[in-house]
Amino acid sequence: MFRILFVTPEIPGNTGNAIRLAAVTGAELHLVEPLGFDLSDAKLRRAGLDYHDLADVHIHPDLDSAWQALAPGRIFAFTAEGETTYTDIGYRPSDVLMFGRESVGLSPEIKTDPRLEARVRLPMLASRRSLNLANSASIVVYEAWRQQGFAGA
């Protein structure tokens, strides 16, 4: 199934929602440290409800470790400056769907890394800065899963 990659997430509720997303879709969730919260945070546990044991979650000490663990999957970096719209991609089950921190997104170094398949955006109205991290991941995971005929559902 698809692999969601959050690079140094800051808000426990977003990661908790992503845990629930991974559990209900069969996606893997990969988190790159440092995390902006403790994994025992009450807000993370509350947002993930009782899905923590049903989700496939991996913690990586840094981005290079994550990329090694996720190889050879195609890596799509989701950013407001993406050249490709998320609906223009033909997703494959081994794809990595990478999202940055809530406050600043992905760093310029990550957005220009040659390992990226594409920089991808979710359309928004002009003059809007960003969409919530967990919501963005949900939109993309469901589009990718839809393209696979909701395999396993």
The domains found in the chain, sorted by start residue, are 3-147 (3.40.1280.10)
**How far apart, in whole angstroms, are the C-alpha atoms of residue 98 and residue 39?**
20
Dihedral angle computed from the Cα positions of residues 63, 27, 134 and 38, in that order, rounded to the nearest 10 degrees = -60
pLDDT for 64: 96
pLDDT for 127: 87
User: Could you tell me which residues come within 8 angstroms of residue 153 by beta carbon, excluding any fewer than 6 positions away?
Assistant: 145
- 54 pLDDT exceeds 70? yes
What are the pLDDT digits (tens) for 71-89? Answer: 999 999 999 999 999 999 9
Whether the predicted model's global pTM rises above the 0.85 cut: yes
pLDDT band at 45 (very low <50, low <70, confident <90, very high): low
Q: At what angle do helices 133-147 and 12-25 cross, to 10 degrees?
A: 10
Q: Which residue has the higher pLDDT, 37 or 115?
A: 115
Nearest of 125, 137, 122, 141 to residue 79 by alpha carbon:
122
Q: Average pLDDT of 99-120?
A: 97
Tokens 């546990």 -> residue: 45
